[in-house]
Chain A
Amino acid sequence: MQFLKPLSLLLPAACLSAQLWAQAPVVDVGSARSDAQSNRGMEGEMYQQLQLLRQEVMALRGTVEEQGHQLRQLKQQSLDRYIDIDRRLTAGGSSSDAMTDSPDSLAVGSPSEASPAASAEGAVIAGSTSTPSATNETSPTSVVLDGDESSDYVKAYDLVKSASYDEAIIAFTSYVEKYPTGRYTPNAWYWLGELYVAIKPQNLSASTQAFQQLLTDYPDHGKVPAAMYKLGTVYFLNGDKQKSQEMLTHVIDRYGNTGNSAVNKSREFLRKNF
């Protein structure tokens, strides 16, 4: 809107000059000097044409700018696509896109976004409603881990995604045995912790153990705040309210300034249950 002001200020000026041109021939009507008249008429016409040309150039410039922008976007898109395909090809597997994406999202994303068991309460619900469907029929993958570190992890993670929690536990357990210091071992411990709560019946002590393993072996890993929060909720489910409160308070104290989503979840949990 502000933009209109200079426009409106400019307009009178433009109109004024246009008027001058338009008036000129009228003033000269009385005189017999028709050549001057036609001269001025010509100038007026030239002026009009100049205006039209300017408008035309501006419109064309706009189109060129926009097409240039679209070209840049297309270039970027095709580059992205190429990189993606290249990555899949070099990974050499059908499941490679999960491999490249999931460890990242697991490491940084909040547990609730990726996890089948969003929270301790969620876990109970998930356990009661979705485990019946968690049978083999959706998972063609065997639990045998025979690939390399990445593809084995992906295989196990695919089982989580297809809600085959029992098989996923077996897969992750063999993963941590096979790769005790693997790249995704902390994530595997985290998932084991989650999965033992998601299955029915829950195995709270196994879940506790898995989370504790992650906390002792990888105290600086990105999954630690989420694991601490989860462990706090598992203590609660186990009836150990004091330990639960201690753990959740610890999360808030230690990560309160980092904006980690586990902090708000801990707060929420403390508020609801204590």
Chain B
Amino acid sequence: MSNPDYDLVIVGGGISGAAIAKTVVEQSAKNKKFPRILILEAGRATALSADKYDTYVEAYHEALIKVPNSPYPASASAPQPDVLDIRPLKDAHGKPKIGDQGYFVQKGPMPFGSDYARSLGGTTLHWLGTTLRMLPNDFRMNETYGRGVDWPIRYEDLKPYYERAEWDVIGVAADVDHQYYPGIEDDDPKKYFRSKNLEKFKNGVYHFPMEEIPSSYLDQYLAKHVDGMTITLPGMDRDEPDHEFTIRISNTPVARNSTPTTPDYKVVGAAGNADRGQRCEGNSSCIPICPVQAKYNALKTLYELIVRYPYQLKEGEKEGQRARVDIRSQCVATEVMHDDGKVTGLTYKTYYDDGFKPTDHTVTARTYVLAANAIENATLLLASNNAANRSDQVGRNLMDHPLLLTWGLLPENVGAYRGPGSTSGIPSFRDGDFRDARTAFRVEIGNWGWNFPENTPYTTVLDLVGGGEDGKAQFYGKALRKRLGEILPRQFRIAWELEQDPEARNRVTIDDRYRDALNKYRPVIEYDLSDYVKASLPWAAEASRQLFAQLGMAEKRRRPTYETGDYSHYDADDASVVQYEGETYCVRGAGHVVGTHRMGDDPTTSVVDSHQRSHDLPNLFIAGCGSMPTLGTSNPTLTMTALALRTGDKIAEELSK
């Protein structure tokens, strides 16, 4: 490999790849080194200009069924999972059945309930934007609770990278004083966030780059009624005492633009249209799309790279005087070629969608990064003659945050359907000694009524108007308008997001029978919940009952009637049904695809080291949520970004040698 095509090739134009590219460019520049970087993206580059981004918004408005991937069309050459493809994995006789109607081949026993986007910008196009850091014990689950595995790094190790992710890549809005987390030193958020960067943060007193996004009227209503209440949850048996939790509504750190906390911080607006999206305007559609890009997406970082470091040299410019970044979309990586303990090249197919045959390419580089999403990374490695898989952990330990939804009709108007998807949560259950017996969970308060569990407001309109066999409108005219005004603003829902523990049996594999239009392997997924996870379902349900009772919603109700009460219910024929101790629950995916190439110090039990470097192939980094050994209760994107910055530093250091 005397003359590689590039210094660095990155597979995947999402947040991880973008953050690594940006870091490598910026850190290398400090050593007067100017790398040439290629980013290969499987999906389309529809939205790298603001006017094209608007076509995504229009597609969302016109979509018949509005799901996270509605705005983002996929090609058969780079298909993507869709939550609409999730079906029960049982036939009419209750026998197990493979679900292969979508992109995923779901072998069950439960369907994997999450999706991701294969478009330039990746799944940050439709993430909610929650940017919670992990808690200290999340990094040492085995040491503290005898569960899962420990990370090779600790919270304090990752802290400086969290800070850079919050300031330099994502842009986070939050107030340190309003973070009420369990499991932190002296219950003091100031200590949890204390920075070692004394140059930037005087006396180490940390602050976020932007002021917190205001808590919704709903959050304020809840705080008035439940702040300080105690929720008591039963132990499993006589030996385990009851556990008590004090409820405190906590404003959530988010990747949404607001007012800078310091004049030095420059708010990053829409890609290609910086004046737009300077502040969150309350479009109430973070998922599936922020119409103004006030919420961070990776297009912003990618756009910055191609504008500042275009691959094409301008007239008079000479090679080696500045970094150069090349982004190629509709390029699907097909194999990581490796020999003698190192990667020797990468093959990919470029597709055209116009009837022209896909073309084959090979590219070489000094260093390679896979940052194509946890499931895509694993599939590619398995398809590459089992690359980087001496540990047999590639594809294993697939995790998500299974969500239990509970919802009810409040006695008063709380102004539902306004504001970002969530502005606050209840962190009380994120850590505690109960984690030796059952999983921790985070409570996300939803601002969009019953949109998630019941597809409202559609269903509420249909319930009231009626039709069908009878053919007669039940409510119409002024009575309909008034009744909707009485019901919709009172709709309330909570998501109880359960930490999933790593299990070798939850895995992605490949199978010759299942391939896509480019003849690339489709992910074959086996997925289930452990008893450790399931044991928290009755807890979440019980916590919900106590909370709902405090809010005056104790009565069980069901649509199509609308009266104050608890509307939570789980149907036994749902695709994601879970039976536990005689009770039926349904869980939803959180879109948090984690764990398929976990990091660790031991090459026999982990795929990458703490820098996300392959134990087996040292010039290969496998980056993203797949590297996380355990998940904690934080939405994983912020942690993934912090890890990407750490990886970027390492690559820059090596390329500078």
Same complex for A and B? Answer no
Residues of B within 8 A of A (CB): none
Residues of A within 8 A of B (CB): none
